[in-house]
Structure formats: C-alpha cells, structure tokens
Amino acid sequence: MRRTYLGEFEEIVLLMVAILDGEGYGVTVSQALEEHTGRIVTFGTVHNTLIRLEEKGFVSSYLGGATTERGGRRKRLFRVTALGSRALQEIQQLRQELWQMVPPNTLRLGGV
Amino acid sequence: MNRSPQPRNDRPPRFAHWLLTRLHPENTLEEVEGDLAELYDYWHHRAGRTQAILRYALNVLSVLPPFVRRRKQVKQQYEQPSSIHPVMIRNYLKIAFRNLQRNKGYTLINVAGLALSMTCGILIFTLVSHHLSYDNFHANADRMYRIVTEMHRDNIGYNHSVPSPLGKHFRDDYTFAEKVARIISADDQLITLRNGADIKKIKEEEGVAFTEPEFFDMFNFPLLEGDKKTALLEPNTAIMTERMAKKYFGDENPIGKTFWLNNRIVFRVTGILKDLPDNTDRKNEIFVSYPTLKAYDSWLANDIDGWGGIRDGVECYVQLRPGVSVAQVEGVMPAYVKKYRPTSKNVHHYKLQPLADIHFNAQYGGVMEKKNLWVLAIIGLFLLGTACVNFINLATAQALKRAKEVGVRKVLGGLKGQLFWQFISETGLITIVGVIVALGMAVLMLPVVNAFFHSQMTLNLFQNSRFVLFIVALGVAITFFAGSYPGLILAGFKPVVALKGKLSQQHIGGFNTRRTLIIAQFAISQVLIIGMLVIMYQMRYAKQADLGFDRAAIVMVPMGDDSTHTKMNTLRNELLRIKGVEKVSICYAAPASTNSWGNFVKVDNEETNFRTSIKSADDQYLSTFGLELAAGKNLFPADSAREFLVNETFLRKLNIKSPEAALGKLISANGGTMVAPIVGVVKDFHDASFHQEISPIILTTNKSDYSDYAIKLNVAQAKTTLAAIEKAWLEQHPDQLFAYQFVDESIAKFYETEDRILQLVEFFSLIAIFIGCLGLYGLMSFMAAQKTKEIGIRKVLGSSVSQILWIFGKEFSRLIGLAFLIAAPIAWWAMTNWLQGFQFHVQMEAWIFLAAIGSTLLIAALTIAYQATRAASVNPVKSLRSE
C-alpha cells in the first residue's frame, strides 16, 4: 500500500521537477509543462501543486537565485526528494507490470 | 545590480499587481511575485502586450484566496520550551513575587482597589441573586397566582388584598383552579402563654395568619410533625415553625400545647413546620386554622358582608390548571363585582398576579423592584470597571521599570505570547489575593448589608455552586480585563529599544484617556459629596429645628386594651406620684405623630373645605408639651368636647386675621357630635414630618379618643422612673404588654427613608472617593515618571521644590476644577429636586459647593503629596545622568 496517493497532475509536475533537475521553480515548471505536454494551466494550479507535493514530502524547496529579470526577487527552487523518486519509480514499475499483463492483441492499433 | 527600469508599457498591470500584493499570503508573496513577473515578460515576448496583460490578470486571480493553497509555516528549527513548562511557570511566579515584593505600595494599592470593588461586586451579586430567588422553590410556581385588586376611581389604586369571600366563591363556582387558598395575616399581635396564674406575654410583630389547609399543598413549606391535610381543619388549631416552637415552648414537645391570641382566642398546636427559608415573602411563622377567623373578626369571616370592602392582609392564592390562561380567569371576575358590590362606586377589578412578580411589584407591596436590582448591578459593574481601569493605569505607569526585563527575555528567545502570559499570570496573582481579601470583607460586611436591607442573606462558598462559579468567573474576567492591556504593551516592547533604555512614556501613551477618567471619577465623587452634605444639612434641620413644642424627655405610653375611665384616672394619679415624673397628659397622640384623625368641621354652621386634624387631649397637654397660646385660655378639664383650642393655620384657612377674633366661634366636628366654642388659639407647631405642611388642628377634651399617656420625665433618673412607670401600668393591666416610645425617637422615625438614603450615599461617596484617589495615584505615578527629565532640567536651571510641586498641583487642580464644573450643575439640579419633597427645607447654599470642592482638593493633595514631593526632590544628577 502506498502511503500517499499521487494524482495524475501531481505525477506530471513531479516528473517535470525531476526533469528540470534542480532548476525547477514556478516559471520553468509551467513552461516545461506547456512545452512537453501541451497543457496550459494557470500559474495558481502549478503553485498549489508544488506546495501540496512539498507537504507530502515528495519535493523539497529552498529560496535562492535572485535575478534581475524578476526585479531582484528570489525564486523558490524545487528538488525531488528520495521519497519522491521512490514514488515515481513505484508508479513506473506498477505501470510496467500492468503493461506486461495486458494480452498482446488487446491494444493493437485499430483493434476489434 | 543593473536594474534599469522597464519601459512603462512593459510592466504588468498595476491593479492586478496591487491586488496580488494585498491579498496573496505573505509567506509566498516574494516567489510568486517574481514568478509572475518573469512569466509576464515571457508572455509579452511571445504573444504581445494584450495577451500578456490578460494572462497576467488571470494568473494573478489563480493565486488569490480562496484558490491559492497556503504554505504552512516552517517548523521551528530549534526546540522551543513550552510557555507552560513547569520550569517557566516557576520562573514566572518567582519573578511575579519579587516584583510584587519590591513594589509593596503599588501591590497594596492594586490589591486594595480590586478587593474593594470586588467586595462590592460580591455583595451586590449576593443581594441580587438572593432577591431573584424569592419564592422560586415551590412546585408549579409558574401556574401560581395571587388575586389582587385594582380599584378604579378617579385614579387607579392597587391593593394586594381582595374581599375575603372571593377565594371561597371562586373555588366553588369555577374549575379553572386546581387549588385555591386564602390566607389572612394579622400582624403585631399579643400572644400569651398561661400556666395557671403565670402569664407569659410576647409581642409577635409578624403576627399570625388564618390559613386554609390547601395553602400548604401549594407552597413548599414542609411539615415536620402533624398532618398537613388535617392540622388546620378544626377551629382553634395552629401550626408554627420550629423556631417559633422553640421560642414559645423551649425544648418541650410543642404538640398539644396552647397559647392565647390577644387574650381572647386560645389555640392548640397541631403541627410543626420546618423553618421558613430566608427567600420567601411569607414572614409570619404562626399559622392558625381558617375556621377560627369567625371568633377573631366576624365581618371578615362572613361570606356576604365580607364583600363590602378590602382589609389589608387578606390574600388569595390560586394554582391554575395547566392550559388555563390568565385572561380566562380575569374574564369571569367582573361578574362578582356586579353581583356582590352593585352599589359601590369603588369599582374593583380583580387581576391575577404571577407568583414570580410578587416580590418585585411595588404597586402590590413588592419589597424590591427589579429596576433597583438592575441599578445595583450596574453600579457593581461600574465599580469593577473603574477598578480595572485604575489597575491598567498603575500597571502601564510601572511598565517602563520592566523594559530591561522584557528586553533580556526577548533576546534569550522569549516569544511575545510567553511574555503576555507571564504578565497575565502576575495580574492573576494580584487578583487571587484581591478575591480572597474581598471574600473576607464580604463576610464581614454581610451583617451590615443584611441590617440595611432587612434581609437574612448568607454567604456560603461551599454549598452554593452558582456563587463559586461567580467568584471564579469574576477572578478570570478581572484578570483578563485588567491584565491584557498592560501585558500587550509590555510584551510588545522592541528588545533593542528596551535594552538601550530608550523607551519613553510616548511608547505607552493614553495620557488624555487617563485625564478623562480622573475627571469622570471626581465628577461622580463630587456629586455624591454634595448630595451627602445637602441630605445631612436637611436632616439636621429637620431633627433639630424648633417644632413649636417640647419633645425632649417625653415618653408616650399606650393605654392597655382593657382600659376604662376609672383605670385611666387611677393610673394617672399613680404616675404623678412616681418620683421623676414631672407631668402627665392623657391624649390621643403626640403633637407630631403619624396618627392623625381627620375631619371636615363646621365653623359657625358653615362648612369648611379643608381637612382638620382633631387632637383630643386633657388640660395638661399644653404644659406637658410646652405649647404656647397666642390668644384666649387653656381647655378646662372635662370628659367630652366642651371647648376647642385651634391653631393659627386653622385661622389662616378660615381667613380670620387676628387670633382674638376667633374666640367664641362655634365649631361642630365629627358629624355634629362634638359642638363647642373656641376658647383659645395655640401657636403653630409641626404636626407631621417636614415633608408636609402644618395642618389645621383643633384640640378638645374628648375622653373616649384618648389612647396614650404623655409623660414628661426628669432626664437624670429616666431609667428608674421608667421601671416604676411600668410597674404602675402593669398593676392596672396585668395581662397586657407594656410598651413605650420617646417622642423625639418617634419624630426621628419620620425620616427613616432619608436616613437610609443618607447611609447609602455616604457609603457610595466613600467608595467613589477611594477609587478616584486610586486613579489619581496612578496618574501621578505616570506623570512623575514622564517628567523626570523635565524636573531635572528645571532644577538645574534653578527651580525650587515648591515651584516644581506646583507643576503637579496645577495639573490636578485643573482636573478637579473641571470635574467640579460638571458635578456642580448636576448636583444642584438633583438636590434641588430632592429638597422639593420637603415643605420645610434648607436652601442650597454656596458653602456646600465650596466644601465639596475643598474637600476633594484636600483629599487629592493628600493622595499625591508623597509622590509629588519625592519627584520634586530627586537630585537632578540622578535623573539626568542616564543620557
């Protein structure tokens, strides 16, 4: 039994944080989201999801990296924690196992 | 960093940004603001300004409440000792005790102020809850009513009694009531116990009550011995409370014992009641059977004649069936008036008065109006409030002394909340001491309060849970009310400023609030002081002014019930023989008396239109009371009305100019049974209290009206003489009770209400002054602290101590002067109104006002003297060195 449930959007955002590898913060995550999945979501959604992921312990954050383009304001940068990466791996493994169990012909393109 | 401002057009919309900064949670504002700014640039770059603005606005909206998720506060990285950790609590208590010990005067004043107001609070609470609990312990009290009478004439009169047969008829005719009980009380009765020739006489002030047995079914007065169904069925049976049984029969078994009422009716005790509780309006403790009423007063006992009028003390209680409304019952009452009082002009309306209303409705003789209880409660709250405000004043004035402590605590990691609770607990300590002192004082004061309000309240901490709850609530409320403001101020000090010693009174503030408070407190004190002086002045005048007759050393002795003309003469001669008796007059009443017999007389066969008071008295009356004749001669000894004396007011009413002109005119009084000429005119004397005008009075020798012996004593041996008088009296009336009253004492009794008001006003002005002084003391401490440097500089520049004292003197004289300007008109108005209640009264004089302001100034000066002198005599080196 997994301790914490990871929603679909949360999983995607968590993956984005993993992809960005330490460079993930509000802006980059939403841009990556748009770029890789084509989904356009409000900033608030991303912001909330990141906070929720941190509360669940899947990411950790710290303030840092002030740049001129944001008027000297600091960014909150996110990193996947050990718990987060295990959760991602478990999900992937579970998917893998499930894929193995699908009979070969069922999902053939243009099936039936 | 190179921060060239962006071109105006490229900046995010200002309103959206403003909204973001105002509404977004503070702890994530910086990052979100940055992220959105970055995104705005990105959108601007990609899709142009309009798109960017729209998206920016939309995304700002998505991070505003309620959509945004709040980041929880990061947990403290280091361990935070809880503020209720035992070590901390010990520390708080230790510091609190040290502080209280170091500032003994301050502690004393605070405890005294709080204790005084809490004493008042506790006593007022006891009084109010005692009165609210009256007769609330009877089952079905909500369905119990007393039938009362409204008497409609020119105006409406209210009477708590009804015609005696009403209860019986109502019970027989209607089914509205489950129970009906009549109870007829006769107070001030003579009870005698006879054992052979041995007679024990007892005056029973509360008397006896003729009671129907159902009364004890309705009211929760349990019987300890006897059967309540049968105890009062037969004539000449009685039940009494345990207390009464002990009083009459001592430790003997009272059942079956007998006693006599007025030497006429004998009763046998058939039951013993448990002592009546204090909180009932039923005061008589001897209940006798209703059938005996016939022997006591046949008119009252008669079912038809009894409708003729209302005798005081005839009460009828009903307990209605569930669902029967008051209007239904009151609706059937007019039929009785039609049937039994068809010709009477005095139209009775019988109403139902709820049991819960009886104690509070003054119209029907209720003892304590609810209005007065609320006034008392408000006074109590006001006292507590002022005490708290004074406490706050003193505490904030002291706050600076503790700035360093607060600074150190904060530097060492103390949180604001912890400091706040520390100060609250200190206040709590003071409050607890105050509560204990207040409880002690309340217990000591209770007998005084009881005597004052004629009540028998008790304070029992361990039995009355409501009282305990009140005490706890009082303590907690006072602690928070008085402690939270100083606590917040102290806990809010900035550690750096506090440690540097740079805090000044400006950080505490509220100077004008304090001034206003002082003015209000002293205005109230001065109103009360002026009131007190006026009442005292008027009372002195009323009690000592020349009433036109002698009242010193004259004692009035009532005749016995069985007195006859022979006995009267014998006794008078006996009395005159006693050494120490100077004069004896037999009369109807003293010159000034609450007894007066009014009459409309005819003079020379012409009707008069004013009420004349007839005072029957013998020829010794004038000399005994030192009344003076203005014209004519004294009465001649006689047994009936042969001659009349009149007073000057009588002549004025008749428009007769000179006393001599009145002599010889014929007066016909008492419906023509007393017809005689005027033989003399007495000078006016006060025949009633100063509330009333002097009445027209006629004096005559009508023996059958005599009821008292007026005996003038030689003061030196009054005691032995009185004993001799009693002995002589008892020889004539062996089975009666001897009683006497000095004339000056009975005159003083005219002013009982005023005396009580005076006591109340004295008490409250004392408290108001005391509380005002506390406030003054607080303000003085505050000013002394605030002006330390100023005084130092002034002294360096050559001021003398007296000049510096005047700085304070000026301030306080101004405040008290302002208070006086408010108080004087209010007091003048109130007391002028009060004096209007007297026909003969003193004038509001300037000295009263001068005395009021003079005494407040003096008290204020005494209050501040010590601190002011200390502040003024501080060595300037000390006060200026700290910089």
pLDDT score of A18: 92
Which residues, including other chains, have CB under 8 Å from residue B224's CB and lie 6 or more apart? B242, B272, B273, B274
pLDDT score of B9: 56
Six-digit token string for A98: 């499930």
**Cβ(B782)–Cβ(B396) under 8 Å?**
yes
Please state, in angstroms and as integers, the Cα–Cα distance from residue B376 to each residue in B44, B120, B125, B474, following that order. 73, 10, 9, 17
Q: For A66-74, what is the mean pLDDT?
A: 75
What angle is formed at CA B261 by the lines to CA B260 and CA B264, rounded to 5 degrees? 85
- Interatomic CA distance for residues B505 and B788, integer angstroms: 11
Q: Supply φ then ψ for residue B427, to 5 degrees.
A: -60, -40
Six-digit token string for B663: 């002599």
Distance from CA of A27 to the nearest CA of B (A): 6
CB < 8 Å to B56, chain A: none
Task: Tell me what percent of chain A is helix, strand and coil, each rounded to the nearest 5.
Answer: 55, 10, 35
pLDDT score of A112: 46
Most B CBs within 10 Å, among A34, A59, A70, A75, to test the B interface: A70
Is the pLDDT reported for residue A2 higher than 60?
no
Tally A–B CB contacts below 8 A: 79
B329 dihedral zone (left: phi>0; alpha: psi -120 to 50; beta): alpha
Which residues, including other chains, have CB under 8 Å from residue B61's CB and lie 6 or more apart? A42, A44, B67
**Cβ(B848)–Cβ(B526) under 8 Å?**
no
pTM reported for the whole predicted model = 0.66
CB < 8 Å to B71, chain A: 51, 54
**Cβ(B876)–Cβ(B801) under 8 Å?**
no
Which residues, including other chains, have CB under 8 Å from residue B604's CB and lie 6 or more apart? B665, B666
- CA-wise closest residue to B161 among B360, B351, B297, B368: B351
- Interatomic CA distance for residues B260 and B766, integer angstroms: 50
- Interatomic CA distance for residues A49 and A23, integer angstroms: 17
Q: Which residue has the tokens 């500032």?
A: B103
pLDDT score of B88: 76
First-residue to last-residue Cα distance in chain B: 42
With CB atoms and an 8 Å threshold, state whether A71 touches B39: no
Q: In terms of C-beta distances under 8 Å and separation of at least 24 residues, what long-range contacts does B489-494 make, across chains too? A: B489/B396, B489/B399, B490/B399, B490/B402, B490/B406, B490/B419, B490/B420, B490/B423, B491/B406, B491/B416, B491/B417, B491/B419, B491/B420, B491/B423, B492/B416, B493/B403, B493/B406, B493/B407, B493/B410
What angle is formed at CA B641 by the lines to CA B640 and CA B642, rounded to 5 degrees? 105
Six-digit token string for B197: 């020739």
Q: For A9-27, what is the mean pLDDT?
A: 90
Beta bridge mates, B612: B599
- CA-wise closest residue to B508 among B496, B497, B516, B519: B497
Q: Where are the alpha helices (DSSP H) in B225-277?
A: 242-249
- Interatomic CA distance for residues B302 and B306, integer angstroms: 5
- Interatomic CA distance for residues B441 and B117, integer angstroms: 11
What angle is formed at CA A7 by the lines to CA A6 and CA A11, rounded to 5 degrees? 75
pLDDT tens sequence across B830-853: 899 889 888 899 988 899 999 999
Show me where the domains of chain B are located: 8-62, 141-358, 370-539+753-881, 554-749
Is the pLDDT reported for residue A29 higher than 50?
yes
- Interatomic CA distance for residues B19 and B56, integer angstroms: 12
DSSP letter (8 states) at residue B343 = T
Is A7 an 8 Å CB contact of chain B?
Answer: no
With CB atoms and an 8 Å threshold, state whether A42 touches B30: no
- CA-wise closest residue to B856 among B778, B768, B757, B781: B768
Amino acid, res. B604: D
Is A57 an 8 Å CB contact of chain B?
Answer: no
Six-digit token string for B801: 């101590």
E strand map for A46-86 = 59-64, 75-80
- Interatomic CA distance for residues B376 and B760, integer angstroms: 11
**Cβ(B108)–Cβ(B391) under 8 Å?**
no
| DSSP string across B781-811 | HHHHHHTHHHHHHHHHTT--HHHHHHHHHHH
What angle is formed at CA B614 by the lines to CA B608 and CA B615, rounded to 5 degrees? 155
Is B28 an 8 Å CB contact of chain A?
Answer: yes
Which residues, including other chains, have CB under 8 Å from residue B248's CB and lie 6 or more apart? B191, B193, B202, B240, B254, B257, B259
Kind of pairing between the strands at B265-273 and B258-261:
antiparallel
Amino acid, res. B155: N
Is A68 an 8 Å CB contact of chain B?
Answer: yes
The minimal CB distance from A43 to the residues B2, B35, B70 is found for: B35
Residues found in chain A: 112
Helix axes A26-37, A8-20, angle to 10 degrees: 110
- CA-wise closest residue to B92 among B418, B445, B578, B322: B418
Q: Which residue has the tokens 């003892």?
A: B367
Is A40 an 8 Å CB contact of chain B?
Answer: no
ipTM of the complex: 0.88
The minimal CB distance from A76 to the residues B3, B31, B62 is found for: B31
Six-digit token string for A2: 């997994």
**Cβ(B209)–Cβ(B184) under 8 Å?**
yes
- Interatomic CA distance for residues A93 and B464, integer angstroms: 72
Tell me the HSE value of B673 on the side-chain side, using a 13 A CA sphere.
Answer: 6
pLDDT tens sequence across B631-671: 889 998 888 888 999 999 999 988 888 888 889 899 998 87
The minimal CB distance from B63 to the residues A47, A52, A71 is found for: A47
Task: Find the residue in A nearest to B37 (Cα).
Answer: A70
**Cβ(B83)–Cβ(B416) under 8 Å?**
no
| H-run or E-run covering B190 | strand B189-195
Is the pLDDT reported for residue A34 higher than 60?
yes
Distance from CA of A64 to the nearest CA of B (A): 10
Is B33 an 8 Å CB contact of chain A?
Answer: yes
- CA-wise closest residue to B391 among B775, B96, B100, B120: B775
With CB atoms and an 8 Å threshold, state whether B35 touches A51: no
**Cβ(B771)–Cβ(B117) under 8 Å?**
yes
- Interatomic CA distance for residues B868 and B804, integer angstroms: 9
Cα B612 from chain centroid? 38
Is A47 an 8 Å CB contact of chain B?
Answer: yes
Q: Considering Cα of B6, then B12, then B16, then B21, what sign does the dihedral take?
A: negative
| H-run or E-run covering B643 | none
Which residues, including other chains, have CB under 8 Å from residue B411's CB and lie 6 or more apart? B495, B499
CB < 8 Å to A13, chain B: none
Low-confidence residues of chain B: pLDDT under 50: 1-8, 883
Most A CBs within 10 Å, among B19, B21, B30, to test the A interface: B30
Task: Find the residue in B nearest to A41 (Cα).
Answer: B59
Most A CBs within 10 Å, among B2, B62, B67, B68, to test the A interface: B62
User: Within a 10 A sphere around the Cβ of B197, how many other Cβ atoms?
Assistant: 6
- CA-wise closest residue to B685 among B633, B744, B626: B626
What angle is formed at CA B578 by the lines to CA B574 and CA B583, rounded to 5 degrees? 85
| H-run or E-run covering B555 | strand B554-558
- Interatomic CA distance for residues B477 and B95, integer angstroms: 23
Q: Supply φ then ψ for residue B463, to 5 degrees.
A: -110, -25
Which 3-state string (H, E, C) describes B754-787?
HHHHHHHHHHHHHHHHHHHHHHHHHHHHHHHHHC
The minimal CB distance from A68 to the residues B1, B31, B72 is found for: B1
**Cβ(B547)–Cβ(B591) under 8 Å?**
yes
- CA-wise closest residue to A26 among A13, A8, A12: A13
